[in-house]
Structure 1
Amino acid sequence: MAQGSTQASKGAIRIGVGGWTYEPWRGVFYPDKLPQKRELEYAASKLTSIEINGTYYGSQKPASFAKWHDETPEDFVFALKGPRFATNRKVLAEAGQSIDRFLASGVLELKDKLGPINWQFMATKRFDPADFEAFLKLLPKTVEGRALRHAVEVRHESFKVPEFVHLLRAHEVAVVTAGDSDFPQIADATAPFVYVRIMGTQEGIDGGYAPAALDAWAGRAKTWAAGGVPDDLNRVADPLPAKQGRDVFLYVISGFKQSNPAAAMGLVERVG
Protein backbone atom coordinates (compact mmCIF):
# COMPACT_ATOMS: atom_id res chain seq x y z
CA MET A 1 0.00 0.00 0.00
CA ALA A 2 1.24 3.49 -0.79
CA GLN A 3 1.46 5.88 2.12
CA GLY A 4 -0.40 9.16 2.48
CA SER A 5 -2.36 9.09 -0.77
CA THR A 6 -5.84 9.80 0.47
CA GLN A 7 -6.04 13.29 -0.98
CA ALA A 8 -8.62 14.53 -3.46
CA SER A 9 -6.47 17.05 -5.30
CA LYS A 10 -3.93 15.58 -7.68
CA GLY A 11 -0.87 16.98 -9.37
CA ALA A 12 -0.09 16.80 -13.08
CA ILE A 13 2.07 13.96 -14.38
CA ARG A 14 4.50 14.81 -17.18
CA ILE A 15 6.57 12.18 -18.91
CA GLY A 16 9.29 12.38 -21.51
CA VAL A 17 12.87 11.67 -22.53
CA GLY A 18 16.19 13.47 -22.50
CA GLY A 19 16.62 15.66 -25.56
CA TRP A 20 15.07 15.03 -28.96
CA THR A 21 18.00 14.95 -31.41
CA TYR A 22 19.21 11.37 -31.65
CA GLU A 23 19.98 9.74 -34.97
CA PRO A 24 18.89 6.16 -34.02
CA TRP A 25 15.39 7.49 -33.29
CA ARG A 26 14.98 8.39 -36.96
CA GLY A 27 12.87 5.76 -38.66
CA VAL A 28 12.11 4.16 -35.27
CA PHE A 29 10.47 6.91 -33.21
CA TYR A 30 10.47 9.59 -35.88
CA PRO A 31 8.74 8.72 -39.16
CA ASP A 32 10.90 8.21 -42.22
CA LYS A 33 11.61 11.42 -44.11
CA LEU A 34 10.46 13.64 -41.23
CA PRO A 35 12.57 16.81 -41.54
CA GLN A 36 14.96 17.18 -38.62
CA LYS A 37 13.66 20.68 -37.96
CA ARG A 38 10.27 19.12 -37.11
CA GLU A 39 11.57 16.48 -34.69
CA LEU A 40 10.81 18.54 -31.57
CA GLU A 41 7.32 19.25 -32.84
CA TYR A 42 6.76 15.53 -33.42
CA ALA A 43 8.23 14.45 -30.07
CA ALA A 44 6.09 16.99 -28.24
CA SER A 45 2.99 15.56 -29.91
CA LYS A 46 3.71 12.13 -28.37
CA LEU A 47 5.17 13.11 -24.98
CA THR A 48 4.25 15.67 -22.34
CA SER A 49 7.71 16.91 -21.38
CA ILE A 50 11.35 16.79 -22.44
CA GLU A 51 14.48 17.27 -20.36
CA ILE A 52 16.94 19.55 -22.16
CA ASN A 53 20.44 18.19 -21.56
CA GLY A 54 22.41 20.66 -23.66
CA THR A 55 22.14 23.33 -20.99
CA TYR A 56 24.36 21.20 -18.75
CA TYR A 57 27.30 21.52 -21.16
CA GLY A 58 26.95 25.13 -22.28
CA SER A 59 24.65 28.09 -22.68
CA GLN A 60 21.94 28.22 -25.33
CA LYS A 61 20.77 31.28 -27.21
CA PRO A 62 17.61 33.10 -26.05
CA ALA A 63 16.26 32.66 -29.59
CA SER A 64 16.57 28.88 -29.20
CA PHE A 65 14.46 28.85 -26.05
CA ALA A 66 11.87 31.05 -27.76
CA LYS A 67 11.84 28.70 -30.78
CA TRP A 68 11.38 25.62 -28.58
CA HIS A 69 8.51 27.36 -26.83
CA ASP A 70 6.77 28.08 -30.12
CA GLU A 71 7.24 24.57 -31.56
CA THR A 72 5.49 22.73 -28.73
CA PRO A 73 1.86 22.44 -27.55
CA GLU A 74 0.43 24.93 -25.10
CA ASP A 75 0.54 22.55 -22.13
CA PHE A 76 4.01 21.16 -22.85
CA VAL A 77 6.78 21.62 -20.26
CA PHE A 78 10.57 21.49 -20.51
CA ALA A 79 12.88 20.53 -17.69
CA LEU A 80 16.39 21.98 -17.90
CA LYS A 81 19.71 20.64 -16.72
CA GLY A 82 21.56 23.30 -14.77
CA PRO A 83 25.09 24.04 -16.03
CA ARG A 84 27.93 21.84 -14.82
CA PHE A 85 29.91 25.01 -14.07
CA ALA A 86 27.63 25.51 -11.07
CA THR A 87 27.76 21.98 -9.65
CA ASN A 88 31.17 20.55 -10.62
CA ARG A 89 33.18 22.57 -8.12
CA LYS A 90 34.84 21.98 -4.79
CA VAL A 91 33.07 24.83 -2.97
CA LEU A 92 29.38 24.97 -3.88
CA ALA A 93 28.92 28.22 -1.97
CA GLU A 94 30.90 29.89 -4.78
CA ALA A 95 28.42 28.88 -7.51
CA GLY A 96 26.36 32.07 -7.38
CA GLN A 97 27.70 33.71 -10.52
CA SER A 98 27.27 30.55 -12.59
CA ILE A 99 23.68 30.15 -11.38
CA ASP A 100 22.82 33.79 -12.07
CA ARG A 101 24.43 33.68 -15.52
CA PHE A 102 22.42 30.60 -16.44
CA LEU A 103 19.12 32.08 -15.29
CA ALA A 104 19.86 35.23 -17.31
CA SER A 105 20.82 33.29 -20.45
CA GLY A 106 17.34 33.23 -21.99
CA VAL A 107 15.67 30.37 -20.16
CA LEU A 108 12.73 32.63 -19.34
CA GLU A 109 11.91 32.66 -23.06
CA LEU A 110 10.25 29.30 -22.37
CA LYS A 111 7.63 31.27 -20.39
CA ASP A 112 4.97 28.96 -18.91
CA LYS A 113 6.73 25.96 -20.45
CA LEU A 114 9.70 26.37 -18.12
CA GLY A 115 9.59 23.38 -15.80
CA PRO A 116 12.01 22.28 -13.08
CA ILE A 117 15.75 22.80 -13.23
CA ASN A 118 17.84 19.73 -12.48
CA TRP A 119 21.16 20.57 -10.81
CA GLN A 120 23.18 17.39 -11.36
CA PHE A 121 26.26 16.52 -9.29
CA MET A 122 29.10 14.17 -10.14
CA ALA A 123 29.25 10.78 -8.46
CA THR A 124 32.39 11.86 -6.61
CA LYS A 125 30.65 14.79 -4.89
CA ARG A 126 30.10 13.98 -1.21
CA PHE A 127 27.50 15.49 1.11
CA ASP A 128 28.86 18.47 3.01
CA PRO A 129 25.80 19.77 4.92
CA ALA A 130 27.00 23.36 5.38
CA ASP A 131 28.28 23.80 1.84
CA PHE A 132 25.26 22.11 0.30
CA GLU A 133 22.91 24.35 2.24
CA ALA A 134 24.89 27.35 1.00
CA PHE A 135 24.26 26.12 -2.55
CA LEU A 136 20.52 25.71 -1.92
CA LYS A 137 20.37 29.29 -0.65
CA LEU A 138 21.75 30.45 -4.01
CA LEU A 139 18.77 28.98 -5.91
CA PRO A 140 16.19 31.75 -6.35
CA LYS A 141 12.52 30.95 -5.97
CA THR A 142 11.60 33.55 -8.61
CA VAL A 143 13.32 35.40 -11.46
CA GLU A 144 11.63 38.43 -13.03
CA GLY A 145 8.39 37.43 -11.38
CA ARG A 146 8.43 33.85 -12.71
CA ALA A 147 8.40 31.07 -10.13
CA LEU A 148 11.21 28.53 -10.41
CA ARG A 149 11.34 24.90 -9.32
CA HIS A 150 14.67 23.34 -8.45
CA ALA A 151 15.77 19.71 -8.13
CA VAL A 152 19.15 18.26 -7.23
CA GLU A 153 20.53 15.01 -8.61
CA VAL A 154 23.12 13.56 -6.25
CA ARG A 155 25.07 10.40 -6.98
CA HIS A 156 27.14 9.65 -3.86
CA GLU A 157 26.08 7.34 -1.05
CA SER A 158 26.89 9.99 1.55
CA PHE A 159 23.64 11.78 0.64
CA LYS A 160 21.51 8.86 1.86
CA VAL A 161 20.93 10.40 5.29
CA PRO A 162 17.87 12.06 6.84
CA GLU A 163 19.79 15.34 7.27
CA PHE A 164 19.97 15.73 3.50
CA VAL A 165 16.24 15.13 3.07
CA HIS A 166 15.37 17.56 5.86
CA LEU A 167 17.61 20.20 4.26
CA LEU A 168 15.83 19.86 0.92
CA ARG A 169 12.42 20.04 2.58
CA ALA A 170 13.41 23.25 4.33
CA HIS A 171 14.20 24.82 0.94
CA GLU A 172 11.41 23.05 -1.02
CA VAL A 173 13.92 21.57 -3.45
CA ALA A 174 13.21 18.14 -4.94
CA VAL A 175 15.68 15.28 -4.91
CA VAL A 176 15.92 13.51 -8.26
CA THR A 177 14.87 9.91 -7.70
CA ALA A 178 17.14 7.47 -9.54
CA GLY A 179 14.67 4.88 -10.70
CA ASP A 180 16.63 1.78 -11.62
CA SER A 181 20.30 2.61 -12.00
CA ASP A 182 23.48 2.09 -9.98
CA PHE A 183 23.10 5.54 -8.43
CA PRO A 184 21.77 5.88 -4.87
CA GLN A 185 17.98 5.86 -4.76
CA ILE A 186 16.45 8.55 -2.57
CA ALA A 187 12.72 8.50 -3.18
CA ASP A 188 11.69 10.89 -0.39
CA ALA A 189 9.25 13.66 -1.33
CA THR A 190 10.96 16.94 -0.43
CA ALA A 191 9.13 19.56 -2.53
CA PRO A 192 5.70 20.31 -4.02
CA PHE A 193 6.80 18.29 -7.05
CA VAL A 194 8.65 15.04 -7.76
CA TYR A 195 11.43 14.52 -10.30
CA VAL A 196 12.27 10.97 -11.44
CA ARG A 197 14.81 9.63 -13.95
CA ILE A 198 14.58 5.96 -14.91
CA MET A 199 17.38 4.26 -16.81
CA GLY A 200 16.37 0.64 -17.25
CA THR A 201 15.27 0.26 -20.86
CA GLN A 202 16.71 -2.87 -22.47
CA GLU A 203 17.39 -4.03 -26.00
CA GLY A 204 15.13 -6.82 -27.17
CA ILE A 205 12.14 -5.79 -25.06
CA ASP A 206 9.27 -4.18 -26.92
CA GLY A 207 8.73 -0.77 -25.43
CA GLY A 208 12.06 -0.85 -23.58
CA TYR A 209 10.47 -2.18 -20.38
CA ALA A 210 8.29 -5.19 -19.71
CA PRO A 211 4.60 -4.19 -19.36
CA ALA A 212 4.66 -4.97 -15.63
CA ALA A 213 7.56 -2.56 -15.12
CA LEU A 214 5.74 0.20 -16.99
CA ASP A 215 2.62 -0.51 -14.93
CA ALA A 216 4.69 -0.17 -11.77
CA TRP A 217 6.22 3.17 -12.73
CA ALA A 218 2.85 4.51 -13.83
CA GLY A 219 1.41 3.45 -10.48
CA ARG A 220 4.20 5.19 -8.58
CA ALA A 221 3.67 8.37 -10.59
CA LYS A 222 -0.03 8.30 -9.74
CA THR A 223 0.75 7.80 -6.05
CA TRP A 224 3.09 10.79 -6.01
CA ALA A 225 0.56 12.89 -7.92
CA ALA A 226 -2.08 12.07 -5.31
CA GLY A 227 0.22 13.29 -2.53
CA GLY A 228 1.40 9.87 -1.42
CA VAL A 229 4.76 8.12 -1.41
CA PRO A 230 5.36 4.75 -3.14
CA ASP A 231 6.24 2.10 -0.58
CA ASP A 232 8.44 0.03 -2.92
CA LEU A 233 11.26 2.58 -3.38
CA ASN A 234 14.08 3.45 -1.01
CA ARG A 235 13.55 6.40 1.34
CA VAL A 236 15.93 7.69 4.00
CA ALA A 237 13.56 9.79 6.15
CA ASP A 238 10.02 9.56 7.46
CA PRO A 239 7.37 10.55 4.91
CA LEU A 240 5.54 13.82 5.38
CA PRO A 241 1.75 13.81 5.85
CA ALA A 242 0.11 14.44 2.48
CA LYS A 243 -1.64 17.78 2.27
CA GLN A 244 -2.07 18.03 -1.48
CA GLY A 245 -1.05 16.36 -4.69
CA ARG A 246 2.34 16.88 -6.29
CA ASP A 247 3.29 17.50 -9.90
CA VAL A 248 5.40 14.63 -11.23
CA PHE A 249 8.14 14.86 -13.85
CA LEU A 250 9.39 11.47 -15.04
CA TYR A 251 12.05 11.03 -17.71
CA VAL A 252 13.28 7.86 -19.43
CA ILE A 253 17.03 8.40 -19.70
CA SER A 254 20.05 6.31 -20.78
CA GLY A 255 19.55 2.53 -20.78
CA PHE A 256 18.90 1.24 -24.31
CA LYS A 257 18.29 4.77 -25.54
CA GLN A 258 16.71 3.74 -28.84
CA SER A 259 13.68 2.43 -26.90
CA ASN A 260 13.31 5.37 -24.53
CA PRO A 261 10.58 7.17 -26.52
CA ALA A 262 8.54 3.95 -26.70
CA ALA A 263 8.82 3.49 -22.94
CA ALA A 264 7.86 7.10 -22.32
CA MET A 265 4.84 6.79 -24.62
CA GLY A 266 3.81 3.63 -22.79
CA LEU A 267 3.88 5.56 -19.53
CA VAL A 268 1.98 8.51 -21.00
CA GLU A 269 -0.75 6.10 -22.07
CA ARG A 270 -0.90 4.45 -18.65
CA VAL A 271 -1.18 7.66 -16.63
CA GLY A 272 -3.48 9.36 -19.12
Structure 2
Amino acid sequence: MGAIYIGISGWRYEPWRGVFYPPGLVQARELDYASRYLPTIEINGSFYALQRPASYAAWYAATPPGFVFAVKGNRFITHMLKLRGIETPLANVLASGVFALREKLGPILWQFPPQLRFEPDKIERFLALLPVDTGQALAIARGHDEKMAGRSLLEIDAVRPLRHAVEVRHDSFRDEAFIALLRRYNVALVVADTAGKWPDWEDVTADFVYIRLHGEHELYASGYEDASLERWASKIRSWSEGRQPEDARLVSSVPPLKTTSRDVYCYFDNDIKVRAPFDAKRLIELLA
Protein backbone atom coordinates (compact mmCIF):
# COMPACT_ATOMS: atom_id res chain seq x y z
CA MET A 1 0.00 0.00 0.00
CA GLY A 2 1.01 3.58 -0.53
CA ALA A 3 1.18 6.07 2.33
CA ILE A 4 -2.20 7.36 3.51
CA TYR A 5 -2.56 10.83 5.02
CA ILE A 6 -5.93 11.81 6.54
CA GLY A 7 -6.39 15.31 7.90
CA ILE A 8 -8.22 18.62 7.84
CA SER A 9 -8.35 21.78 5.75
CA GLY A 10 -7.15 24.59 7.98
CA TRP A 11 -6.95 24.57 11.77
CA ARG A 12 -7.81 28.07 13.00
CA TYR A 13 -11.60 28.17 13.49
CA GLU A 14 -13.29 29.96 16.38
CA PRO A 15 -16.14 27.38 16.79
CA TRP A 16 -13.54 24.65 17.35
CA ARG A 17 -12.32 26.28 20.56
CA GLY A 18 -13.65 24.47 23.58
CA VAL A 19 -15.03 21.67 21.36
CA PHE A 20 -12.08 20.22 19.46
CA TYR A 21 -9.45 22.36 21.16
CA PRO A 22 -9.40 22.07 24.96
CA PRO A 23 -10.79 25.02 26.90
CA GLY A 24 -8.07 27.54 27.64
CA LEU A 25 -5.71 26.41 24.86
CA VAL A 26 -4.05 29.54 23.50
CA GLN A 27 -4.50 30.17 19.78
CA ALA A 28 -0.76 29.99 19.17
CA ARG A 29 -0.79 26.34 20.32
CA GLU A 30 -3.69 25.18 18.13
CA LEU A 31 -1.49 23.88 15.30
CA ASP A 32 0.72 22.10 17.82
CA TYR A 33 -2.39 20.38 19.22
CA ALA A 34 -3.99 19.54 15.85
CA SER A 35 -0.76 18.14 14.42
CA ARG A 36 -0.52 15.63 17.29
CA TYR A 37 -4.12 14.56 16.66
CA LEU A 38 -3.84 14.17 12.87
CA PRO A 39 -0.88 13.52 10.53
CA THR A 40 -1.58 16.18 7.88
CA ILE A 41 -3.24 19.57 7.41
CA GLU A 42 -4.09 21.57 4.32
CA ILE A 43 -2.91 25.19 4.64
CA ASN A 44 -5.77 27.28 3.28
CA GLY A 45 -4.69 30.77 4.37
CA SER A 46 -2.31 30.72 1.39
CA PHE A 47 -5.39 30.69 -0.87
CA TYR A 48 -6.56 34.09 0.37
CA ALA A 49 -3.22 35.89 0.73
CA LEU A 50 0.48 35.24 0.30
CA GLN A 51 1.93 34.10 3.59
CA ARG A 52 5.38 34.99 4.89
CA PRO A 53 8.51 32.87 5.34
CA ALA A 54 8.37 33.38 9.11
CA SER A 55 4.88 31.84 9.20
CA TYR A 56 5.90 28.76 7.23
CA ALA A 57 8.99 28.36 9.43
CA ALA A 58 6.84 28.60 12.57
CA TRP A 59 4.39 26.01 11.22
CA TYR A 60 7.29 23.69 10.47
CA ALA A 61 8.65 24.10 13.99
CA ALA A 62 5.23 23.56 15.63
CA THR A 63 4.62 20.15 14.03
CA PRO A 64 6.19 16.77 14.78
CA PRO A 65 8.54 14.77 12.55
CA GLY A 66 6.72 13.01 9.73
CA PHE A 67 3.93 15.57 9.60
CA VAL A 68 2.82 16.71 6.11
CA PHE A 69 1.35 19.99 4.92
CA ALA A 70 -0.61 20.43 1.73
CA VAL A 71 -0.55 24.04 0.49
CA LYS A 72 -3.49 25.68 -1.27
CA GLY A 73 -2.39 27.78 -4.24
CA ASN A 74 -3.26 31.47 -4.21
CA ARG A 75 -6.65 32.49 -5.65
CA PHE A 76 -5.08 35.46 -7.49
CA ILE A 77 -3.80 32.89 -9.99
CA THR A 78 -6.93 30.76 -10.27
CA HIS A 79 -9.86 33.08 -9.54
CA MET A 80 -8.70 36.55 -10.56
CA LEU A 81 -6.26 35.97 -13.40
CA LYS A 82 -8.06 32.73 -14.33
CA LEU A 83 -4.72 31.13 -15.28
CA ARG A 84 -3.70 33.89 -17.76
CA GLY A 85 -0.41 35.74 -17.37
CA ILE A 86 0.49 33.91 -14.19
CA GLU A 87 4.26 33.48 -14.53
CA THR A 88 5.18 36.23 -12.04
CA PRO A 89 2.32 35.50 -9.60
CA LEU A 90 3.40 31.85 -9.57
CA ALA A 91 6.94 32.98 -8.79
CA ASN A 92 5.58 35.09 -5.93
CA VAL A 93 3.69 32.12 -4.48
CA LEU A 94 6.77 29.92 -4.58
CA ALA A 95 8.96 32.69 -3.12
CA SER A 96 6.57 33.40 -0.24
CA GLY A 97 8.07 30.83 2.13
CA VAL A 98 6.83 27.37 1.15
CA PHE A 99 10.43 26.13 1.01
CA ALA A 100 10.58 26.60 4.80
CA LEU A 101 8.33 23.52 5.13
CA ARG A 102 11.26 21.43 3.86
CA GLU A 103 10.45 17.69 4.02
CA LYS A 104 6.97 18.44 5.40
CA LEU A 105 5.86 20.04 2.12
CA GLY A 106 3.26 17.82 0.49
CA PRO A 107 1.05 18.47 -2.56
CA ILE A 108 0.08 21.93 -3.77
CA LEU A 109 -3.66 22.26 -4.37
CA TRP A 110 -5.04 24.45 -7.16
CA GLN A 111 -8.78 25.04 -6.79
CA PHE A 112 -10.46 26.40 -9.91
CA PRO A 113 -13.49 28.73 -9.61
CA PRO A 114 -16.93 27.51 -10.76
CA GLN A 115 -16.84 29.93 -13.71
CA LEU A 116 -13.57 28.58 -15.13
CA ARG A 117 -14.27 26.41 -18.17
CA PHE A 118 -12.09 23.77 -19.78
CA GLU A 119 -10.01 25.42 -22.50
CA PRO A 120 -7.39 22.83 -23.49
CA ASP A 121 -4.63 25.22 -24.54
CA LYS A 122 -4.96 27.41 -21.44
CA ILE A 123 -5.10 24.44 -19.09
CA GLU A 124 -2.06 22.84 -20.68
CA ARG A 125 -0.07 26.09 -20.42
CA PHE A 126 -0.89 26.17 -16.71
CA LEU A 127 0.04 22.52 -16.13
CA ALA A 128 3.31 22.97 -18.02
CA LEU A 129 4.29 25.83 -15.69
CA LEU A 130 3.95 23.80 -12.50
CA PRO A 131 7.37 22.80 -11.11
CA VAL A 132 8.02 19.08 -10.69
CA ASP A 133 10.58 19.48 -7.90
CA THR A 134 11.83 22.08 -5.44
CA GLY A 135 14.87 22.84 -7.57
CA GLN A 136 12.66 23.84 -10.48
CA ALA A 137 10.38 25.70 -8.06
CA LEU A 138 13.35 27.69 -6.75
CA ALA A 139 14.34 28.71 -10.28
CA ILE A 140 10.78 29.94 -10.89
CA ALA A 141 10.64 31.72 -7.50
CA ARG A 142 13.68 33.82 -8.42
CA GLY A 143 11.45 35.54 -10.97
CA HIS A 144 9.31 37.16 -8.26
CA ASP A 145 8.46 40.84 -8.51
CA GLU A 146 9.29 43.79 -6.28
CA LYS A 147 6.27 43.15 -4.02
CA MET A 148 8.17 40.25 -2.52
CA ALA A 149 11.21 42.32 -1.55
CA GLY A 150 12.07 41.58 2.07
CA ARG A 151 9.46 38.84 2.39
CA SER A 152 10.76 36.05 0.18
CA LEU A 153 12.64 32.82 0.80
CA LEU A 154 14.92 31.75 -2.04
CA GLU A 155 16.69 28.78 -0.50
CA ILE A 156 15.96 25.06 -0.37
CA ASP A 157 17.47 22.44 1.87
CA ALA A 158 17.25 19.69 -0.77
CA VAL A 159 15.80 18.94 -4.19
CA ARG A 160 12.59 17.01 -3.60
CA PRO A 161 9.70 16.04 -5.90
CA LEU A 162 6.69 18.37 -5.92
CA ARG A 163 3.13 17.17 -6.42
CA HIS A 164 0.18 19.18 -7.69
CA ALA A 165 -3.58 18.57 -7.57
CA VAL A 166 -6.39 20.38 -9.39
CA GLU A 167 -9.96 20.76 -8.10
CA VAL A 168 -12.44 21.70 -10.86
CA ARG A 169 -15.94 23.10 -10.42
CA HIS A 170 -17.30 23.43 -13.98
CA ASP A 171 -18.91 20.57 -15.86
CA SER A 172 -17.01 21.40 -19.07
CA PHE A 173 -14.06 19.55 -17.54
CA ARG A 174 -16.00 16.33 -18.09
CA ASP A 175 -13.76 15.68 -21.07
CA GLU A 176 -11.40 12.79 -21.79
CA ALA A 177 -8.90 15.34 -23.14
CA PHE A 178 -8.71 16.96 -19.70
CA ILE A 179 -8.02 13.65 -18.00
CA ALA A 180 -5.33 12.92 -20.60
CA LEU A 181 -3.68 16.30 -19.93
CA LEU A 182 -3.56 15.69 -16.18
CA ARG A 183 -1.98 12.29 -16.76
CA ARG A 184 0.59 13.76 -19.15
CA TYR A 185 1.76 16.15 -16.42
CA ASN A 186 1.22 13.78 -13.47
CA VAL A 187 -1.25 16.18 -11.81
CA ALA A 188 -3.99 14.68 -9.64
CA LEU A 189 -7.66 15.36 -10.27
CA VAL A 190 -9.10 16.16 -6.84
CA VAL A 191 -11.82 13.74 -5.79
CA ALA A 192 -14.27 16.20 -4.22
CA ASP A 193 -17.39 15.39 -2.24
CA THR A 194 -19.42 18.61 -2.35
CA ALA A 195 -22.96 17.49 -1.41
CA GLY A 196 -23.75 17.28 -5.13
CA LYS A 197 -22.95 20.94 -5.88
CA TRP A 198 -19.87 20.45 -8.07
CA PRO A 199 -18.28 17.64 -10.13
CA ASP A 200 -17.30 14.54 -8.19
CA TRP A 201 -15.31 12.48 -10.67
CA GLU A 202 -12.78 9.93 -9.47
CA ASP A 203 -10.38 9.36 -12.37
CA VAL A 204 -6.85 8.58 -11.22
CA THR A 205 -4.52 10.91 -13.12
CA ALA A 206 -1.26 10.89 -11.13
CA ASP A 207 0.95 8.69 -8.98
CA PHE A 208 -1.07 9.85 -5.96
CA VAL A 209 -4.71 10.57 -5.12
CA TYR A 210 -6.02 13.77 -3.49
CA ILE A 211 -9.45 13.82 -1.80
CA ARG A 212 -11.43 16.74 -0.33
CA LEU A 213 -14.54 15.97 1.71
CA HIS A 214 -16.61 19.15 1.99
CA GLY A 215 -19.72 17.60 3.55
CA GLU A 216 -21.97 14.75 2.52
CA HIS A 217 -25.37 16.49 2.67
CA GLU A 218 -24.63 20.15 3.45
CA LEU A 219 -21.60 21.91 1.99
CA TYR A 220 -18.90 22.70 4.60
CA ALA A 221 -21.20 21.68 7.43
CA SER A 222 -22.60 18.15 7.53
CA GLY A 223 -20.56 15.32 8.93
CA TYR A 224 -20.00 11.77 7.77
CA GLU A 225 -21.63 8.82 9.49
CA ASP A 226 -19.82 5.51 9.83
CA ALA A 227 -21.47 3.99 6.75
CA SER A 228 -20.17 6.84 4.60
CA LEU A 229 -16.74 6.74 6.18
CA GLU A 230 -16.60 2.99 5.55
CA ARG A 231 -17.24 3.64 1.86
CA TRP A 232 -14.47 6.21 1.75
CA ALA A 233 -12.15 3.86 3.62
CA SER A 234 -12.84 1.17 1.01
CA LYS A 235 -12.08 3.59 -1.82
CA ILE A 236 -8.88 4.77 -0.15
CA ARG A 237 -7.70 1.20 0.34
CA SER A 238 -8.24 0.51 -3.36
CA TRP A 239 -6.37 3.62 -4.47
CA SER A 240 -3.50 3.03 -2.05
CA GLU A 241 -3.11 -0.51 -3.43
CA GLY A 242 -2.91 0.81 -6.99
CA ARG A 243 -6.45 -0.29 -7.86
CA GLN A 244 -9.54 1.61 -8.98
CA PRO A 245 -12.71 1.32 -6.82
CA GLU A 246 -15.36 -0.69 -8.61
CA ASP A 247 -17.97 2.06 -8.18
CA ALA A 248 -15.67 4.91 -9.26
CA ARG A 249 -17.35 7.76 -11.17
CA LEU A 250 -15.16 8.15 -14.26
CA VAL A 251 -14.81 10.62 -17.11
CA SER A 252 -12.28 8.71 -19.17
CA SER A 253 -12.66 5.25 -20.65
CA VAL A 254 -8.87 4.89 -20.58
CA PRO A 255 -7.57 3.33 -17.35
CA PRO A 256 -4.58 4.83 -15.52
CA LEU A 257 -1.16 3.28 -15.65
CA LYS A 258 -0.94 0.11 -13.61
CA THR A 259 0.93 0.31 -10.32
CA THR A 260 1.08 -1.61 -7.06
CA SER A 261 0.59 1.40 -4.80
CA ARG A 262 -0.34 5.09 -4.65
CA ASP A 263 -0.07 7.63 -1.86
CA VAL A 264 -3.43 9.06 -0.81
CA TYR A 265 -4.10 12.46 0.77
CA CYS A 266 -7.57 13.11 2.20
CA TYR A 267 -8.75 16.36 3.82
CA PHE A 268 -12.03 17.07 5.58
CA ASP A 269 -13.35 20.57 4.87
CA ASN A 270 -16.68 20.31 6.74
CA ASP A 271 -15.53 22.68 9.45
CA ILE A 272 -18.60 24.83 10.22
CA LYS A 273 -20.15 22.41 12.71
CA VAL A 274 -16.83 21.16 14.07
CA ARG A 275 -17.08 17.80 12.36
CA ALA A 276 -13.86 17.83 10.34
CA PRO A 277 -11.25 16.74 12.95
CA PHE A 278 -13.50 14.07 14.44
CA ASP A 279 -14.50 12.67 11.04
CA ALA A 280 -10.84 12.57 10.04
CA LYS A 281 -9.89 10.70 13.21
CA ARG A 282 -12.72 8.21 12.73
CA LEU A 283 -11.65 7.53 9.13
CA ILE A 284 -8.11 6.88 10.36
CA GLU A 285 -9.48 4.37 12.86
CA LEU A 286 -11.50 2.59 10.17
CA LEU A 287 -8.47 2.36 7.90
CA ALA A 288 -6.32 1.05 10.72
- Report the TM-score, using the length of structure 2 for normalisation: 0.86
- Mapping of residues 223-238 of structure 1, within 5 Å: 223-237=238-252, 238=254
Task: State how far apart, in whole Å, the 2-side matches of 1:150 and 1:40 are.
Answer: 24
**Structure 1 residues 38 and 255, CA gap change in structure 2 (3 angstroms):** closer
Q: Please give the secondary structure, in 2, of the residue aligned with 1:250.
A: strand
1:7-156 → structure 2 map (5 Å cutoff): 10-89=1-80, 92-144=83-135, 145-156=159-170
Aligned partner of 1:170 among 184, 187, 192? 184
1:185 corresponds to 2:176: no
Contact residue 253 and residue 260 of structure 1 kept, 8 A: yes
Q: 1:72 to 1:260 in 2, by over 3 A?
A: same
- Residue 7 (structure 1) aligns with: none
| RMSD of aligned residue pairs (Cα, Å) | 1.7
From 216, 221, 239, give the equivalent of 2:231.
216
Tell me if the contact between 1:201 and 1:263 (Cα under 8 Å) persists in the aligned partners: no
Shift of 1:46: 1.1
Measure how far apart 1:93 and its partner are.
Answer: 4.4
How far apart are the structure 2 equivalents of 1:256 and 1:35? 20
Structure 1 portions without partners, runs of 5+: 1-9
Q: Any conservation in 2 of the 1:16–1:252 contact (CA below 8 Å)? A: yes
Indicate if the aligned counterparts of 1:151 and 1:176 stay in contact, CA closer than 8 A. Answer: yes
Aligned partners of 2:194 and 2:216 also within 8 Å: no
Per-residue deviation, 1:88: 2.0
The number of equivalent residue pairs is: 260
Q: Distance in 2 between matches of 1:266 and 1:114?
A: 24
Quote the residue 2:258 is aligned against.
242
Q: 1:255 to 1:63 in 2, by over 3 A?
A: closer
Tell me the amino acid that sits aligned with residue 157 of structure 1: D
Q: Kindly state the Cα deviation for residue 146 of structure 1 after the two structures are TM-superposed.
A: 2.8
Query: For the Cα contact (< 8 Å) 1:13–1:271, is it kept in 2?
Result: no
C-alpha offsets along residues 45-95 of structure 1, whole Å, 9 cap, x if unaligned? Answer: 111111111001111111111111111111110101101111124662421
Conserved? CA contact 2:223–2:270, under 8 Å: no
Q: Taking structure 1 as the reference length, what is the TM-score of the superposition?
A: 0.91
Q: Which has the higher contact order (CA 8 A, sep 6+)?
A: 1
**Matches of 2:40 and 2:202 in 1, distance apart?**
21
Question: For the residues of structure 1 that align with 2:114 and 2:44, how far apart are their CA atoms?
Answer: 17
Task: Please tell me whether residue 271 in structure 1 is matched to residue 287 in structure 2.
Answer: yes
Identity of counterpart residues, as a percentage? 47
Q: Deviations over 1:152-205 (max 9, x none)?
A: 1110000011110000000000111112431101211111111111122569xx
Distance 1:202 1:32, change over 3 A: farther
Q: Could you tell me which runs of 5 or more consecutive residues in structure 2 were left unpaired when the two chains were aligned.
A: 136-158
> SS at 2:190's partner residue?
strand
**Conserved in 2, the CA contact under 8 Å of 1:45 and 1:73?**
yes
Cα distance, 1:246 vs structure 2: 0.8
State the shift of 1:123 in Å: 0.2
SS in 1 for 2:108: strand
